[in-house]
Amino acid sequence: MSLLREAVLAELGIPRWRVRPGIAFPGGPVQDRGEAPCLPRVDPSAGAACGGDVTVAQAPSEPQVVDILLQAEAATAAEVELLARMAEAVRGLRPGLRVATAAFADSSLQGRVSVRLDGAGLPSLAAMVADPALKRPVWQALKDAVARLP
């Protein structure tokens, strides 16, 4: 890649890894396949290589680890609010407890102890909003979860 082209890309804020060999950059010279930049492979298992579409595998970020992770799907404002209050109530059980909430698919967080509110083992947020009496077994499960922590 020419220095001029690299400078233009940088000015436009376009990262190098988006450059595809053989595709002309507007206003720039036509790039031959042979010119394709060979970027270092970050993760060999990700299969990034020279030639064809060039990609740089993102280094997998380590999930943040908390003491208690509440996993639930909150679809309405009432459910979001209830989940926040549950986290706050759990924090009150032990000083310094790190408590977080996450959707089921969210892998950026990991709990030393996780409590899943999916309607199978424990009632879902929607079920608790509809029937507040269901909070009782959930609260017991949360207290048990805290007790399992060292």
Partner 1 sequence: MSSAFETLRIRPWRASDIGPIAAIERQAYPFPWPEGVLLDCFEAGHHGWVAGERGGRVAAYAIVQPIIDEAHLLNICTAPDWQGQGVGRGMLRWVMSACRELGMQRMLLEVRASNLPALHLYRSEGFTEDGVRKGYYPASGGREDAILMSRFLNA
Site for partner 1, rule CB under 8 A: 82, 85-86, 88-89, 92-93, 132, 135-136, 138-139, 142
Cβ at position 91, least distance to partner 1 in Å? 10
25 vs 139, beta carbon nearer partner 1: 139
Contacts of residue 122, Cβ cutoff 8 Å, sequence gap at least 6: 115, 116, 137, 138, 141
* Rounded CA separation 82/88 (Å): 10
* Rounded CA separation 87/142 (Å): 10
Please, are residues 80 and 48 in contact by the beta-carbon 8 Å criterion?
Answer: no
Cβ at position 90, least distance to partner 1 in Å? 9
| Listed residue (53, 60, 58) closest to 18, CA to CA | 53
Kindly tell me the sign of the dihedral angle through the C-alpha atoms of 32, 35, 41, 45. positive
Place of tokens 């509440």: 70
40 vs 132, beta carbon nearer partner 1: 132
19 vs 99, beta carbon nearer partner 1: 99
56 vs 97, beta carbon nearer partner 1: 97
Cβ at position 64, least distance to partner 1 in Å? 24
20 vs 136, beta carbon nearer partner 1: 136
Cβ at position 78, least distance to partner 1 in Å? 11
Cβ at position 138, least distance to partner 1 in Å? 7
Place of tokens 């408590």: 99
